[in-house]
Structure formats: C-alpha cells, structure tokens
Amino acid sequence: MILTNPLLKIRHLIFLILMPAGIITCLSHCVPMSVTMPEVREDERMEQLNNSARAAFRQGAVSQAEKLYERVLKRAYIRDDLPAIVDAKYNLGVCRLRLRLYESALATALSAERDAVGIGDRPLADILLMKSQILYRMGKEEDAWHISEKLIKKIRVIPQETSAMIHALRGRIACKRGDTHSAREELGAMGEVNVDQLLAERSELIGCIQFQEGAFQTAARAFDEAVSFHRKALHYALMAEALARAGAAYEQSGEPGTAANRFLRAGRSAQLQEMAEEAIRWLTIASTLASNAGKHEIAEEADRRLSEVSATNARH
C-alpha cells in the first residue's frame, strides 16, 4: 500500500523505528525460572533469598529483585552449586532485560550459557531465548534470528512456553523485514497460549502483521488487546510501547483523536517509568495530533507533561 499523505508517511516511519524497541519480546516478557536439576541439599538462606526475589519481581519491583538475585548468585558460588549458579544468572539476566540494561543483560546471558553447557536442555533453551530477546532489543535482529535458529535446531526438547515465545520473536523479525507470510507461519507455530505474557506477544504479532498489510483498524484493536495483557503481566514498559503502536495504527486509520489518546497514555506511563526519550517522543506526537483534532484537553496534558520531563532532564 502506498501512503500519499506526508504526515502519515512520517508516522509510518516512526512506527517502523519503534518496532525494534518493542517486543517482544521478553521480551522480553521472561519470568524467573527454576531449573530442574539433580537434587541437592537445600540451603535455607538461599531459598529465602530466592523466594524474596521472585516475590519482588512478580510485584513489579524489578530493581529490588535484581539486587536479591545478586545475593542468590553469591550464595550459589559459596556453595559451588552449578545448577543454582545458572538459575541465578538467568534470573539476573531477566531482571536486567526488564530494566533495559541490555549490555549487562547480554553479558549475564553469555555467562549463564557457558555454565549451562552439559547440565540439560531446559536451562539452555531458556537462556538462548533470553539471549535472542536481548539482541533483538539492542537492534541486532539478524543476530537474534541466528540464535533462534540455533535454539530450534540444537535443543532436543523445548518447553511449550519457550517455543511459543521464540516463534513470537521470529514473527516480529520477519514482520520487520516485510515478510508477513513468514510472520504468519511463526504466528501459527506459537500454538495455543493461555498465559498473559504469551497472549500479549500473540496480539502484538497480529498487530504487526495487520499494520504491515495496511489493515490499520484491525492492527489498532490487536495492539489495544496487547496493552491489556501486558498490564495483567505487570510488564508496564511493553504496555507503554503497545499503546504507542496502537496510536500509530489509529492515526493511519484516520482517527487522530483516538491516536492522540493512545500516545498520551503511552507518554504518561513512560514518563512515570523514567523512560524519558520515549516519553518525549510520544507526548510530542500526542500534542500535535490532539491540537489538529481539536482535542484540547489531551493537548494541554501532553504539553504539561512534556514540560515536566524536560525539567527533570535538566536537573539531571
């Protein structure tokens, strides 16, 4: 489909630029795992730390969870307990991915991968998934695709949820390439899913395919659905990104007022999550769209929040 309106061309470009930061994936959407390994005598202190870290993560206190998993890793090293070391490194990587500390997350994933060799396919599969998600987030889509190929071809038994997540990631990469046929194949390969995190990924992939094919209203509804699932999964950064993608789809479908609403909500959430760059971008779009559509309340709130973000940046 050819876009003739210059403003829509700009928004379409913004959407495509946004996609590498989206996803996924873990995207990005990972949760702390427990590696099934040969039974060892329980360390009560380590178990307490693990329980506290998991509770913090599930409540959305990811920075706190990261610090607790660092203590778990130290305890695992004291015990010279390789399965516990791998488990702690994986969970640390997940936290750092959620916190958008991509270089640190990748280093942690690589270290976990080295340690996981020879102790079973399950931990290695989850670690390779996390590694591919990190690379995707870093804008290294082809590297992420290569890792996903390695996972599918080399790992004999892949857990269903891990498999669904890797196919969702591959679908996003295919969609970004403009290959919606392959993206649909990856969507089908996800199979039936019933976990909020995976339901969000499925809706995101449907939205990306529909957007690429020019079915903007359908894409917008899919992204709105993804917003709800990300919210239930307590993954608010990905929720904000899905709101922005919904905004881009609504704008392309000729609904600037609704688009302004989504961009405002995305920017507001990003502001309060200290995602300053995204907040500025989305609030600026919200202000422009709202002004053009006569949605003065949205424009006023967007402008006020833009001033707040700018003031906070100036202080830092």
Q: HEC states along the chain?
A: CCCCCHHHHHHHHHHHHHHHHCCCEECECCCCCCCCCCCCCCCHHHHHHHHHHHHHHHCCCHHHHHHHHHHHHHHHHHHCCHHHHHHHHHHHHHHHHHCCCHHHHHHHHHHHHHHHCCCCHHHHHHHHHHHHHHHHHCCCHHHHHHHHHHHHHHCCCCCHHHHHHHHHHHHHHHHHCCCHHHHHHHHHHCCCCCCHHHHHHHHHHHHHHHHHCCCHHHHHHHHHHHHHHHHHCCCHHHHHHHHHHHHHHHHHCCCHHHHHHHHHHHHHHHHHCCCHHHHHHHHHHHHHHHHHHCCHHHHHHHHHHHHHHHHHHHHC
* CATH code: domain of residue 154: 1.25.40.10
114 within domain boundaries: yes
Looking at residue 313, what is its pLDDT? 79
pLDDT at residue 208 above 50? Answer: yes
State the pLDDT confidence band at 155, using cuts at 50, 70 and 90.
confident
From residue 265, alpha-carbon distances to 3, 100, 106, 239, 282 in Å are: 26, 20, 30, 10, 9
pLDDT at residue 40 above 60? Answer: no
Instruction: Tell me the residue range of the domain where 206 lies.
Output: 6-254
CB neighbour class for 6 (10 Å; exposed up to 12, middle 13-18, buried from 19): exposed
Least confident of 42-51, 100-109, 255-264: 42-51
Note the pTM of the prediction, 2 decimals: 0.82
Looking at residue 123, what is its pLDDT? 84
Find the mean pLDDT for residues 249-278.
96
291 within domain boundaries: no
State the pLDDT confidence band at 41, using cuts at 50, 70 and 90.
low
311 within domain boundaries: no
pLDDT at residue 44 above 50? Answer: yes
262 within domain boundaries: no
Looking at residue 314, what is its pLDDT? 76
Instruction: State how far the Cα of 108 lies from the Cα of 105, in Å rounded to an integer.
Output: 5
pLDDT at residue 223 above 80? Answer: yes
Find the mean pLDDT for residues 222-240.
96
219 within domain boundaries: yes
Token duo for residue 313? 């940046």
227 within domain boundaries: yes
pLDDT at residue 9 above 50? Answer: no
Mean pLDDT of the chain: 88
Backbone dihedral angles phi then psi of residue 126, each to the nearest 5 degrees: -65, -35
Residue bearing the bigger pLDDT, 250 or 311: 250
Find the mean pLDDT for residues 64-79.
96
Find the mean pLDDT for residues 167-181.
95
Find the mean pLDDT for residues 196-211.
97
Number of domains in the chain: 1
CB neighbour class for 231 (10 Å; exposed up to 12, middle 13-18, buried from 19): middle
Residue bearing the bigger pLDDT, 123 or 195: 195
Looking at residue 32, what is its pLDDT? 56
165 within domain boundaries: yes
Looking at residue 290, what is its pLDDT? 98
Looking at residue 8, what is its pLDDT? 46
Place of tokens 């995305």: 266
Looking at residue 158, what is its pLDDT? 84
Find the mean pLDDT for residues 68-72.
96
242 within domain boundaries: yes
CB 130, CB 93: distance < 8 Å = yes
